[in-house]
Structure 1
Amino acid sequence: MSQRTYAPSTSTFAEDPDRYRKDGLHPLVIGDIINNGRYRIMHKLGSGSFATIWLCRDTSEHRYVSVKVLSGESSLDCKEIQILEAITTTTVAHKGREFVVQLLDHFVIDGPNGKHWCLVTKVAGSRLERKPGLPYNSLEWPRVASLQVAEALAFLHTLGIAHGDCYTSNVLFQLQYFDEWSEEEVYACMGQPNKHPVRRLDGQPRGGNAPEYTVDPGDVVALEQRLPTDKIILIDLGAAFYHGEDLDHIWTPAPHSAPEIVFGGDLTYQVDKWAFGCLLYELCADHTLVKLLFGWNNDAMKDQVAMLGKPPSALWKNWEARDKYFHPDGTPKEAQGRRLKVKPLPLKQRVMNLDKPLSERDYGTGDEAPLPPHLQDLYDLLEGIITYDAKARLSFDEILSHPFFSGARTPKI
């Protein structure tokens, strides 16, 4: 592990100051003006390993925008830019277009840590999650929300683009128009920027590679409560790829990763369908379809086998740890030492559990009783998506026309 340059942040919400280094993040603070005076930094919206995201005032168009500043590690022939431009400029008419992020502007900053792409988009709200207060067995809102995600993915796939990282953190709520708000109104809603000074551990002057301070994200939830909609937007095309690309990895989080990702198989655009099925179940159940104890691919493989049984040999042979948990036929072994026994929990039982409070959901076999009518359509849809055979997964046209979505209407702003 390399030696630290800067003291760790006192905040768990701000980025690590050590990310400000050569080819790392670009130093910005509140009030900075970028792109020849056009965008003024007002607040932090978020940060990640490879970018910071800022609420800015577009002084040319008199509107609020989100500006994502990529790290210097992102090449200037960045595929994300190419894909966003293709999405924004296409003449293809598709309903799902309104649910996919559109590029308003893009430019490059040449800073002390390298050259950084800046992506300008509309401001969005918080991540997609099941609304608090919904009855545990209510499917109507999850139906409407997931329909929009399916429309968004269908639009991308019409363009020959796979998202590659579709899960709830990359689906945000859209906001109503608020460009007429004064900056004082924005701060009154989101809170004043909470700043954390950056200092070097060796006591030397900070220098220009890091900002004077880091900033906690503003209260986007409060902004969303003032500007509520049920309309979503699919964001972050950083892991997107074109159909037919030869891939050696996909960075989808393990709970949403298709079997071909976690076991090691042919990586294709079909991974988006599995990820959509996981997202759909998560909105209905208020927890992930695939359960992980420690967040590792190993846990994902165990639970996929617990749900679907033994995978095809092309996947099964790639899992070196399989013999610790399963017999050759895919049935679980008894636990040994500190290892936990895998309990079978078929997909049907996971759907059946949605009719019970969280505290009463159990294992079973999934065959004890028929599903109630309101869960049967959901199970039929998931069964067509959550399958080891990537080529057998339903197309997005088949997903959108499935009876589960019958009568559902996407909302308008």
Structure 2
Amino acid sequence: MSEPQSPAYPKAYESDEVMDSDDDIPEVNGPSIRHRPHPPATSQGTYSFSVSGEIEELERYDKGGYHPVNLGDRLGDGAAGGRYRVLHKLGYGGFSTVWLCRDTQDHRYVAVKVFAGYASRDNKRVSEADLLAHLPNNSSQPGAEYIARPLDHFSLQGPNGTHQCIVLPVLGPRVSPSLWHEMETENDCGVILKKMCRQATLGLSFLHENGICHGDFRPANILVNVDAEKLNRLSEDELYGLLGPPWVAEVFTESGAEVPDSTPKDLIYPADLWKLRKFLTEEIRIVDFSESFLMSSPPPNLGTPENYLPPEVLIWNLELEKELASRTDDDGAGILSTAAAMAGNCPVGPACDIWALGCTLFAIRNQVALLYMIPEGDEMIAEMVEHFGKLPAQLWAKWDARAEYFDEDDDGTIIPRTGQEDDVTDDEGTIDPRTGQADDGCEKEGRLEHALNDKHQIFKMYGSNPIKEFSIPKDEQKVLGDLLYKICVYNPEKRPTVQEILSHEYFRT
């Protein structure tokens, strides 16, 4: 069966098309130049009127950086220059860009993840396919079905270096935040979210049972599965009809010369995957194993965002920052030797995944982050203490900034100095955040209980009544709170295994 003729690409909307045209701009040394103010140019003299945060940095298109991908490019091996034809963009990250492609050999839609050149030189980061090869094929182990396995992998040579690429199934949006109010289902979205919590836990259990730590376990790396069979029935015209044309930000040069080969002609905004909502299922897939590692070979540190890092790693990071800051700027060798000496002492291991799982379960079920991303590590630890109580003595003593956030009585009791709302009495009893134990006689409820009790609502513009609302039932709040207190234990050696978590009452009801 031959691949059908590809349609003409729909007109791509330019993000700066509302600005003045070039009609009246004079020629200067050849090509016309836009003489309006523009963002700072990159080291290669390129710039774009793109929206920061919604698109990758143009500066990253350089030696060792991203590979320049344009709509219509052919990637991979095969006839006509490559098996995978680029249709749209799905997203980007610190180490890669991800593209919606047509597999011209198997006549299906796929996601092609193209790693940056420097990531492709890093043995830890290019090993996604090799790492996942440690997992048994066609495994009947529970949780295996929730891992997004590569369909293919290859490398490509470009102006910015050699880039490793993996081919994955097309998947939907992340499981949190906002999933609840985008769902179009006759089922209770709370039931679906709880089911996704169990699936995510099973998926992590499968990894751990096969000797792999995910290393970056969080909602951004847990995506809603797509019904591939239904999606693949769409023609490319029908797919564009759903997604709409790609929005692009054209790339220019300060000199007016052609854009260099190292840079794409346009920066492309990611597709809105909610437009594929009718193809979404009630299952999840765990993705992005660029930070994953074998339990037998832990890395020197983790690249996980701080609000999913456990306290022992946060404290270690602060100690490293303090030590490096004590070095003079010209003592480069000393800084490197200090970092190298301390690297092997970072407490990285399965317990880090367990802490991240606790934060992730809260985020999936409650549709907001448990700990908000704060760029200051000390503030992150303070927020953690407000949720789960005082750190153990050893960690507490290592936290130099503790007095900035808490007063401490002679008996060791701590009082927040941050002006947080007072705890309130819970007549029904709750979990004591200071001990992590269930206690019907507990006089005060902790911040975690307040967070679990949040009600989320959506209103129409100028409307007074919510058109949709979401909250966790009271009885479920108690059971989930108990589970989270058991998971988010400060001592990593006392955190439960994933199997123990799966046996908790929360997953049995």
Give the TM-score category using the shorter length. Answer: 0.7 to 0.9
| Match among 179, 194, 198 for residue 232 of structure 2 | 179
| Match among 35, 48, 51 for residue 76 of structure 2 | 35
1:133 deviates by 8.0
Q: Deviations over 1:229-280 (max 9, x none)?
A: 1110011001111214343321211222111221125221211111111111
> Which residue pairs with 1:154 in the alignment?
205
Task: Confirm or deny: 8 A CA contact 2:242 2:275 kept in the other structure.
Answer: yes
> Which residue pairs with 1:16 in the alignment?
57
Distance 1:78-1:9 versus aligned 2 partners, 3 A rule:
farther
Q: Secondary structure at the match of 2:281?
A: coil
Which residues of structure 1 form unaligned runs of 5+? 335-339, 360-370, 408-413
Distance 1:343-1:122 versus aligned 2 partners, 3 A rule:
same
Q: Deviations over 1:285-304 (max 9, x none)?
A: 33222245x43322210011
Q: Counterparts of 1:193 and 1:357 in 2: how far apart (Å)?
A: 36
Q: Counterparts of 1:188 and 1:99 in 2: how far apart (Å)?
A: 29
1:113 deviates by 0.4
Task: Confirm or deny: 8 A CA contact 1:197 1:214 kept in the other structure.
Answer: yes
Q: Counterparts of 1:222 and 1:357 in 2: how far apart (Å)?
A: 26
Task: Confirm or deny: 8 A CA contact 2:41 2:47 kept in the other structure.
Answer: no
- Whichever residue aligns with residue 119 of structure 1, its letter is I
Q: Counterparts of 1:157 and 1:342 in 2: how far apart (Å)?
A: 38
Distance 1:93-1:330 versus aligned 2 partners, 3 A rule:
farther
> Which residue pairs with 1:141 in the alignment?
192
> Which residue pairs with 1:113 in the alignment?
160
Q: Deviations over 1:15-61 (max 9, x none)?
A: 22221101011111010112232111111001123211000111111
Which structure: larger Rg? 2
> Which residue pairs with 2:136 in the alignment?
90
Q: Counterparts of 1:266 and 1:86 in 2: how far apart (Å)?
A: 21
1:179 deviates by 1.4
Q: Deviations over 1:118-140 (max 9, x none)?
A: 11010000111241289xx9853
Q: Secondary structure at the match of 1:127?
A: coil
1:343 deviates by 6.1
Q: Secondary structure at the match of 2:487?
A: coil
Between stretches 31-40 and 148-157, larger displacement belongs to 31-40
> Which residue pairs with 2:356 in the alignment?
275
Structure 1 position 284 matched with structure 2 position 369: no
> Which residue pairs with 1:322 in the alignment?
402
Between stretches 372-381 and 34-43, larger displacement belongs to 372-381
Distance 1:108-1:341 versus aligned 2 partners, 3 A rule:
same
Between stretches 349-358 and 111-120, larger displacement belongs to 349-358
- Whichever residue aligns with residue 216 of structure 1, its letter is Y
Q: Counterparts of 1:138 and 1:190 in 2: how far apart (Å)?
A: 24
Task: Confirm or deny: 8 A CA contact 1:291 1:299 kept in the other structure.
Answer: no
Q: Deviations over 1:354-392 (max 9, x none)?
A: 345369xxxxxxxxxxx9543332122112101101111
Distance 1:195-1:155 versus aligned 2 partners, 3 A rule:
same
Q: Secondary structure at the match of 2:113?
A: strand
1:79 deviates by 3.1
Which residues of structure 2 form unaligned runs of 5+? 1-39, 317-345, 424-431, 434-444, 458-472
Task: Confirm or deny: 8 A CA contact 1:254 1:296 kept in the other structure.
Answer: no
Structure 1 position 55 matched with structure 2 position 100: yes
| Match among 292, 298, 303 for residue 251 of structure 1 | 303
Task: Confirm or deny: 8 A CA contact 2:387 2:448 kept in the other structure.
Answer: no
Q: Counterparts of 2:169 and 2:117 in 1: how far apart (Å)?
A: 23
| Match among 119, 125, 131 for residue 172 of structure 2 | 125
Distance 1:120-1:3 versus aligned 2 partners, 3 A rule:
closer
> Which residue pairs with 1:7 in the alignment?
47
> Which residue pairs with 1:366 in the alignment?
none
Distance 1:254-1:16 versus aligned 2 partners, 3 A rule:
same
Q: Secondary structure at the match of 2:181?
A: coil
1:220 deviates by 1.1
Task: Confirm or deny: 8 A CA contact 1:65 1:123 kept in the other structure.
Answer: yes
| Match among 32, 54, 67 for residue 26 of structure 1 | 67
1:312 deviates by 2.2
- Whichever residue aligns with residue 402 of structure 2, its letter is R
Q: Deviations over 1:293-344 (max 9, x none)?
A: x43322210011222222123322332222222245361364xxxxx44668
Task: Confirm or deny: 8 A CA contact 1:138 1:284 kept in the other structure.
Answer: no
1:200 deviates by 1.9
1:2 deviates by 10
Task: Confirm or deny: 8 A CA contact 2:41 2:254 kept in the other structure.
Answer: no
- Whichever residue aligns with residue 198 of structure 1, its letter is V
Q: Counterparts of 1:117 and 1:164 in 2: how far apart (Å)?
A: 20
Distance 1:402-1:395 versus aligned 2 partners, 3 A rule:
same
Q: Secondary structure at the match of 2:414?
A: coil
- Whichever residue aligns with residue 505 of structure 2, its letter is P
Distance 1:321-1:204 versus aligned 2 partners, 3 A rule:
farther
Task: Confirm or deny: 8 A CA contact 2:223 2:284 kept in the other structure.
Answer: yes
Distance 1:179-1:313 versus aligned 2 partners, 3 A rule:
same
Q: Count how many residue pairs are aligned between Structure 1 and Structure 2.
A: 387
Distance 1:10-1:333 versus aligned 2 partners, 3 A rule:
closer
1:112 deviates by 0.4
Q: Which has the higher contact order (CA 8 A, sep 6+)?
A: 1
- Whichever residue aligns with residue 21 of structure 1, its letter is D
Structure 1 position 387 matched with structure 2 position 474: no
1:114 deviates by 0.4
Instruction: Give the TM-score, by structure 1 length.
Output: 0.86
> Which residue pairs with 2:347 in the alignment?
266
Distance 1:320-1:248 versus aligned 2 partners, 3 A rule:
farther
Q: Secondary structure at the match of 2:446?
A: helix
Q: Counterparts of 1:181 and 1:98 in 2: how far apart (Å)?
A: 25
Task: Confirm or deny: 8 A CA contact 1:307 1:344 kept in the other structure.
Answer: no
Task: Confirm or deny: 8 A CA contact 1:306 1:344 kept in the other structure.
Answer: no
Q: Secondary structure at the match of 1:21?
A: coil
Task: Confirm or deny: 8 A CA contact 2:50 2:267 kept in the other structure.
Answer: no
Task: Confirm or deny: 8 A CA contact 1:124 1:174 kept in the other structure.
Answer: yes
Q: Counterparts of 2:182 and 2:118 in 1: how far apart (Å)?
A: 42
Task: Confirm or deny: 8 A CA contact 2:306 2:377 kept in the other structure.
Answer: yes
> Which residue pairs with 2:32 in the alignment?
none
Q: How does 1:330-409 map to 2 (within 5 A)?
A: 331-332=414-415, 334=417, 340-341=418-419, 347=433, 349-353=446-450, 354-355=452-453, 357=455, 373-407=475-509
Q: Counterparts of 1:133 and 1:105 in 2: how far apart (Å)?
A: 31
Q: Deviations over 1:91-124 (max 9, x none)?
A: 4531211111101111111100000001101000
